[in-house]
Structure 1
Amino acid sequence: MASSSHYHYHYNINDDADLEVPFEEFFTNNPIPEPKERKKRIFIERNREDGNTMLWNDYFSETPTYPHNLFRRRFRMNKSLFLSIVHRLSTEVEYFRPTQDAVGRSSLSPLQKCTAAICQLAYGGGADTVDEYVRLGETTAAKCLHHFTAAIIHLFGDQYLRQPTPEDLQRLLQIGEERGFPGMVGSIDCMHWKWKNCPSTWKGMYSRGTRKPTLVLEAVASYDLWIWHAFFGAPGTMNDLNILDRSPVFDDIINGIAPEVNFYVNGREYNLAYYLTDGIYPK
């Protein structure tokens, strides 16, 4: 067994003069490259305080420039709902909390960050579309969108991203019966969303004839505009029946775990609820 002692080797380069030539030739013919100068990040002073002031005066002050109906159309939600979302994000999510930098300058406000995220979601535009109004850059706007969607799922997922409970189902059945549709728990339909940046190789699969490529969203909604089911991403060339076959909307019925609902129509008893659809679906 070898001992743990250290061995020291000494080699004198002068003992073999031939080794000196290759080293000299190598460093002469292949000089060590000088390190590249790091490109400085471009900073644009956007005066974010002015953007926050203008946003507040336009939509959120006591006498806003634009009334509630324009807010609803542009933000795709009521002002009270938007402010409640902003309040929860600014108090429970670190990224949206107001801060100050080392010199005491305020950061982007929660209103600016949430507005940037909402504009990207509502209109599907690029991250730099809100640069001139909200006063934040493309990278920051994309980061706002990422944190916004993650926070919404974290804070509101248990309440909104779920299947209907027995209490929800009973309420939907009662409302449906009051409106003349006993046993109806919601409306189902498919809608096409334009895919602006669809790859050229996929365009034929997602287009119908000469139309632009689209993605299909299948959704089940109740009278109060709650979305109880969503299946998104099917190619635009598919029709509603093909998508219905792909989506998991009837998996509970197939697996025998769907809740039983008893109601009568024209003297005949039914034990399964139904979705209200348009005329292309089979009876």
Structure 2
Amino acid sequence: MNSNSLNESSTDSSSSSSNSDDEGRELRVQQRNEVCLMIQHVMHEYIPPIIQAATQQRRRKSTEPRKDRGREEGHARLYNDYFAEVPVYPSSLFRRRFRMRKHVFERLLNAVTQHDPWFQQRQLSYGCASDACDEYVRISEASSRLALQKFTEGVINLFGDQYLRRPNIADMERLLRIGEERGFPGMIGSIDCMHWEWKNCPHAWKGQYQGREGVATLVLEAVADRDLWIWHSFFGMPGSCNDINVLHRSPVFEDVLEGRTPPVNFVVNGHHYTNGYYLTDGIYPRWASFVKSITSPQTRQDRLFAKHQEAARKDVERAFGVLQARFAIIKKPSLAWDTDILHNIMLACIIIHNMIVEDERETYQNNVNTNEFMNAGGNANEDTTEYRTDRIVDIGLYLSRRTEIEDQQTHLQLKNDLVEHIWNKFGNKENLGN
């Protein structure tokens, strides 16, 4: 075979391979075009009917008529029972059901409804869930939850400045006068903590919020006087904190340290003092601002002092008891998930509690019976937190006042003076035995 024949055969083989590559490429392009045509056919023929059917189903659900809860009948029943000119139930039963007198209730109602248009009656354009609610409320669970949030925010914004205030000069004079009458000159209230169970606490936080009973709780620190008015409230600390942990984070002495409180001057057993004090239980530290009882008193003077101190210190315990008895939402475990909602609920309840105290102070001043509340009949505004960046007081004066508040020697001297004062004031009137 010569060289010319070899060249011809190689040329023929190369041309045949290129032809086969071209044919494969054309075949792949044809297959790709067929797939694209098939996808377009499916998109145009099958997808639009599916979307249309789903849209129609969604529209049918949204246009279903709302469940008739008989709101008009419920409103008429509630109005005739308590708010008509001649109501079915008298004012005493109104207070028993709503925990306040009628004019206080109407003051809250009118103020909140005028402040927030959410409470004003209008035509609704959305459906309501079918959750059962109270026989008087006649609204769904979701609407009840939203109404609670709106109501607490309205109460705090409208009445917080007046009923969550610190004592002014007139208030301080009255508190000091009451303390003097009870044998404790300079006493401005009693302080303690209360736990509120948090049923829906997130699992990741349960260890942090676990309280003494093994359940998640939040702590309320409060100061109350004899009339059960709550002068100071600090809420939201985890239940794992004890009273001392809460105290070190509390702003209870903030006004004193920054010089915004009215002056306090009193004399006990010949010694002059310039700072008021709170009555506490045994867990609190030995500070000049706290007066504790005497553990296992031995002498008659000590027993008399312990008796009066423990009786007066129960003011804050009574305030907690009345607060829980008045508001079942605080007495029962909380179902909310957000700590901000819990904070607003607690503050709103304290505000309403103080409003009731102001209205009924002269009627039950030192004789509150919480049994009347037990088992009684019946089943987004902007953040208003104030931020201060200016220095209220000189740092040296601030530290000197803190030293006065936490001074243990003054604590011991004040306690001894109070023991002598109470013995001189009440010792001849009471028989304590030997």
TM-score of the superposed pair, with normalisation by structure 1: 0.71
Structure-to-structure mapping, 1:123-162, within 5 angstroms: 130-162=133-165
Contact map agreement 1:90 1:98 (CA 8 A) in 2 = no
2:224 counterpart residue number: 221
Which AA in structure 2 matches 1:187? S
1:27 counterpart residue number: 40
Aligned equivalent of 1:273, options 276, 295, 300: 276
Distance in 2 between the 1:180 and 1:130 partners? 50
Tell me the alpha carbon deviations over residues 124-160 of structure 1, each in whole angstroms, 9 at most, x when there is no partner.
xxxx563443211122212221221222123223322
Contact map agreement 2:172 2:262 (CA 8 A) in 1 = no
Give 3-state SS (helix, strand or coil) of 1:154's partner. helix
C-alpha spacing 1:230/1:149, structure 2 compared with 1 (3 Å): same
Tell me the alpha carbon deviations over residues 231-253 of structure 1, each in whole angstroms, 9 at most, x when there is no partner.
11212222111111111112234
User: Greater strand share, 1 or 2?
Assistant: 1
Q: CA RMSD in A?
A: 3.1
Deviation of 1:183 (Å): 1.3
Aligned equivalent of 2:82, options 59, 70, 76: 59
Give 3-state SS (helix, strand or coil) of 1:180's partner. coil
Q: Greater Rg, structure 1 or structure 2?
A: 2
Distance in 2 between the 1:233 and 1:89 partners? 25
Tell me the alpha carbon deviations over residues 13-65 of structure 1, each in whole angstroms, 9 at most, x when there is no partner.
xxxx9896564233235553532231325621011111112223333346655
Aligned equivalent of 1:49, options 72, 78, 82: 72
Unaligned runs of 5+ in 1: 1-16, 103-127
Contact map agreement 1:89 1:97 (CA 8 A) in 2 = no
Give 3-state SS (helix, strand or coil) of 1:134's partner. coil
Contact map agreement 2:168 2:261 (CA 8 A) in 1 = no
If asked which structure has higher relative contact order (CA below 8 Å, sep 6+), I would say: 2
C-alpha spacing 1:78/1:279, structure 2 compared with 1 (3 Å): farther
1:239 counterpart residue number: 242
- Greater Cα shift, 223-232 or 30-39: 30-39
Deviation of 1:274 (Å): 1.3
| Fraction of identical pairs, as percent | 52
Which AA in structure 2 matches 1:28? H
C-alpha spacing 1:167/1:210, structure 2 compared with 1 (3 Å): closer
C-alpha spacing 1:89/1:255, structure 2 compared with 1 (3 Å): closer
Give 3-state SS (helix, strand or coil) of 2:156's partner. helix
C-alpha spacing 1:65/1:282, structure 2 compared with 1 (3 Å): farther
Distance in 2 between the 1:252 and 1:158 partners? 15
Distance in 2 between the 1:152 and 1:180 partners? 37
Give 3-state SS (helix, strand or coil) of 1:185's partner. strand
Which AA in structure 1 matches 2:47? I
Distance in 2 between the 1:166 and 1:144 partners? 37
Distance in 2 between the 1:224 and 1:198 partners? 34
1:87 counterpart residue number: 110
Contact map agreement 1:51 1:134 (CA 8 A) in 2 = yes
Structure-to-structure mapping, 1:195-206, within 5 angstroms: 195-206=198-209
Distance in 1 between the 2:283 and 2:276 partners? 19
Which AA in structure 1 matches 2:103? S
Give 3-state SS (helix, strand or coil) of 1:45's partner. coil
C-alpha spacing 1:216/1:44, structure 2 compared with 1 (3 Å): same
Distance in 2 between the 1:90 and 1:28 partners? 59
Contact map agreement 2:264 2:276 (CA 8 A) in 1 = yes
Give 3-state SS (helix, strand or coil) of 1:212's partner. coil
Contact map agreement 1:218 1:230 (CA 8 A) in 2 = yes
Which AA in structure 1 matches 2:272? E
User: Greater helix share, 1 or 2?
Assistant: 2
Unaligned runs of 5+ in 2: 1-28, 125-130, 287-434
